[in-house]
Amino acid sequence: MENQTSTQSWTRKRDEKKRRLSSMAHLADHAIIKKENIVEALQYLLQPGDKVVLEGDNQKQASFLAEALLQVDTAKVNKLHMIMSSVSLPEHLDIFEKGIAEKLDFSFAGPQSLRIAQMLEDGTLKMGEIHTYLELYGRLFIDLIPNVALVAADKADKFGNLYTGPNTEETPAIVEATAFKDGIVIVQVNEIVDELPRVDIPGSWVDFVVEADKPYQLEALFTRDPKNITELHILIGMLTIRGVYEKHQVKSLNHGIGFNTAAIELLLPTYAQRLGLKGKIATSWVLNPHPTLIPAIESGWVDTVHCFGGEVGMEQYVAARPDVFFTGKDGSLRSNRAFAQVAGQYAIDMFVGSTLQIDRNANSSTVVSGRLAGFGGAPNMGHDPHGRRHSSPAWLDMITSADPLARGRKLVVQTVETFQNGNTPVFVETLDAVEVAKQSNLATAPVMIYGNDVTHVVTEEGVAYLYKTTGEEERRQALSAIAGVTPIGLTADHQTTKSLRERGIVAYPEDLGIRRTEAKRTLLAAQNVKDLVDWSGGLYNPPAKFKNW
């Protein structure tokens, strides 16, 4: 075989980066680009067809760089292939309308889910794939390696070292994939300072920083006001605590962001405490800093919490509880979405979520007709990773056979009311996702959690222990038994349900020693946001829209 090294360049990416950097040297002072020069700088640094990561997490947004990108001359910058974990801002899609970008790989698009579906249908945007977070991060190192990353940090120094603080989220993952493959890393910062509280990302990974005209946009996505928790949420919470957490002695877990799980968080120091479960369940968490977890933390229930991102208003509280949260030498939270997702996939025993639709085989989806919301990270956590090897009592408790090679399972729990908003059944014959896949020409239907990964479904009617069922028919019967008066629930047969209850495949409240009338709001450790502030000793500082006292 002929040796090609003498004729072929092995540094084309490095050379191209060098060319781009020198072409715009007049616009930068070492690592610093002035904000008034950013649009022109982008016109030198971006080339048509580039793969570009524009940082939009579901909380932090590189909003200044998004606006700058929108202003580039489309004759110079076009046909970009955007890679965005979260499509959240109108600007994220305006760049496609203007012809600056052409193709999109993303993970979550909840706040833009109709527009993205329309643009796909109209051919304004070409779809790459809709990923889960971990798949998207993974592909940044395989076949979606960025040419340019546009990300956000709180502070930088003049060498380009970055402080990303409580909202570190996925910035390190994006920057690593770009910096070490000769891509260009451009960072918007709220301020450039002489000394950083700590270095979250070293300056040698960063090419340019630009001080934005205003701080990056940040949403309080994980704040649930306890005053909106209903007695139905509380009943479901009690059933889940007794029927799942206590029964399987689940210690490590993740919660979704619904009111069902918020109720559980607020029932730990009250209801679960009275059951004598403190220290036996729910001690180790991968979770954003949910304000509704404050009472459980203050009551000594929680050993540790690793966070995907921060939460507006929780900064001081988290900084004052370093035994519980991961914090830096400066005292503030260090979050990391990629590691938290890995932990949520492999290291915890249970995922508890909620959903809008469940079909008769327990497949579930939050997709509604005509909307492309994507996945985010729920599917990473809401499945049983078959490669897991380490054991724990909860994981081993899922074994139902005597096979000497039998392995445990992660608990994947869906907690839902049988009807959402009182009139739309959650249990349906066919998920809307099936129709959405057809409309948008997707390769697969956008199922959030696959039925064969779900171990438990909890409704206000009871708990279905799906992991114990044998075969599809019994699985369906167990679901029907807890699906209330939805069309799926009405197919339940009295005798069959009786047998399922006797065999422990279905449990109704009375089977778990719960009286429905016990489910009162007075059981909640906090009734409203003010109570959460009081629990925190004034360290929690909720955003204005939650301050209603």
Partner 1 sequence: MLQLLPAQHPVVADVFEVAESVLNCSVYSLDSAMAFSSTVNVQLCLLIAGVIAARRLIAQGIKPDFVAGHSVGAFAAAVINGVISFKQAIGLVNSRASLMENAFPKHYGMAALVGFTQSRLKPYLEKHNNAHSTIFLANINAADQMVVAGRTDSIDLLIQELKKAGIQKAKFLNVSVPSHCQLLAGVSEALKQQMETLPFNEPTIPYASNSTGRLLKTGDAIKKDLWLSISTTVKWFDATTLIYESGARLFIEMEPSGVLAKIAAATFPDATVWNVNETQIDHLGIAWNNYQNKESNT
Helices 113-122 and 90-97: angle between axes, nearest 10 degrees: 10
Q: Does 214 bind partner 1 (CB under 8 A)?
A: no
**In 10 A of CB 369, how many CB atoms?**
10
142 in contact with partner 1 (CB under 8 A) = no
Min separation Cβ 176 and partner 1, Å? 32
* Least separation in angstroms between CB 497 and partner 1: 22
Which CB, 369 or 391, lies closer to partner 1?
A: 369
CA dist 8 and 394 (Å) reads 56
CB 410 within 8 A of CB 383: yes
- Contact between 123 and partner 1 per CB under 8 A: no
Give the C-alpha distances (Å, rounded to integers) separating 338 from 9, 137, 188: 34, 7, 21
Paired sense of beta strands 184-192 and 148-156, if any: parallel
Query: Cβ closer to partner 1: 63 or 354?
Result: 63
State the CB neighbour count (10 A cutoff) for residue 450.
16
Among the listed ranges 298-306, 326-334, 362-370, 383-391, the one in contact with partner 1 (CB under 8 A) is: 362-370
Phi, psi of 149 (to 5 degrees): -115, 130
Stretch of 110-118, 141-149, 201-209, 384-392 contacting partner 1, by CB under 8 A = 110-118
99, 128, 370, 385: which one contacts partner 1 (CB under 8 A)?
370
Residue 228 as a binder of partner 1 (CB under 8 A): the answer is: no
Q: Is 348 helix (H, G, I), strand (E, B) or coil?
A: coil
Shortest CB 362 distance to partner 1, Å: 19
**Window contacting partner 1 (CB under 8 A); options: 115-123, 145-153, 178-186, 312-320:** 115-123
Q: What letter would DSSP give residue 54?
A: E
Rounded to whole angstroms, the Cα distance separating 549 from 541 reads 13
If the CB atoms of residues 89 and 457 are measured against partner 1, the closer one turns out to be: 89
Least distance (Å) between residue 477 CB and partner 1 = 23
Per the listing, tokens 């954003």 go with: 288
Instruction: Please give the Cα distance from 330 to 300 (Å, whole number).
Output: 24
Q: Which is nearer to partner 1, 211 or 435 (CB)?
A: 435
* Nearer residue to partner 1 within complex by CB, 366 or 380: 366
Among 71, 118, 439, 452, binds partner 1 (CB under 8 A): 118
Q: For the beta carbon of residue 9, count every other beta carbon within 10 angstroms.
A: 9
**How many residues of this chain bind partner 1 (CB under 8 A)?**
20
Binding to partner 1 (CB under 8 A) within 394-423 occurs at 421, 423
Of 312 and 526, nearer to partner 1 (C-beta) is 312
User: Half-sphere exposure (CA, 13 Å, Cβ side) for 52?
Assistant: 28
Q: How near is the Cβ of 428 to partner 1 at its closest, in Å?
A: 8
- Only one of the segments 135-143, 147-155, 365-373, 452-460 lies at the binding site for partner 1 (rule: CB under 8 A); that segment is 365-373
Site mask for partner 1 (CB under 8 A), range 418-447, x = bound: ---x-xxx--x---x--x------------
Q: Kindly report the CA angle at 143 between 140 and 149, in degrees rounded to 5? A: 40
* E runs forming strands in 462-511: 463-465, 506-507
Q: Are strands 148-156 and 162-163 parallel, antiparallel or unpaired?
A: antiparallel
Q: CA separation (Å) from 374 to 143, 155, 178?
A: 20, 31, 24
- Residue of 114, 220, 221, 445 that binds partner 1 (CB under 8 A): 114
Question: According to the binding rule CB under 8 A, does residue 99 interact with partner 1?
Answer: no
Show the site string, 509-548: x = touches partner 1 by CB under 8 A, - = not: -----------------------------------xx---
CB nearer partner 1, residue 428 or residue 457: 428
250/411 Cα distance (integer angstroms): 9
Q: Are strands 32-33 and 28-29 parallel, antiparallel or unpaired?
A: antiparallel
Name the segment binding partner 1 (CB under 8 A); options: 258-266, 281-289, 364-372, 408-416: 364-372
Residue 223 binds partner 1 (CB under 8 A): no
Q: Is the dihedral of CA 135, 137, 141, 147 positive or negative?
A: positive
80 neighbors 49 (Cβ within 8 angstroms): yes
Q: Which residue do the tokens 């779809």 mark?
A: 127
Q: Of the candidates 111, 166, 237, 382, which one interacts with partner 1 according to CB under 8 A?
A: 111
Q: Distance between CA 372 and CA 109 in Å, rounded?
A: 7
Q: Does 115 bind partner 1 (CB under 8 A)?
A: yes
Determine which residue in the list 2, 122, 194, 403 makes contact with partner 1, applying CB under 8 A: 122
| CB nearer partner 1, residue 122 or residue 143 | 122
- 111 three-state secondary structure: helix
Tokens 């075969």 sit on residue: 471
CB closer to partner 1 out of 4 and 421: 421
Secondary structure class of 420 (helix, strand, coil): strand
Under the criterion CB under 8 A, does residue 368 sit at the interface with partner 1? yes
- Rank residues 520 and 547 by Cβ distance to partner 1 and give the closer one: 547
Which C-beta is closer to partner 1: that of 439 or that of 527?
A: 439
Residues that bind partner 1 (CB under 8 A): 90, 111-115, 118, 122, 368-370, 421, 423-425, 428, 432, 435, 544-545
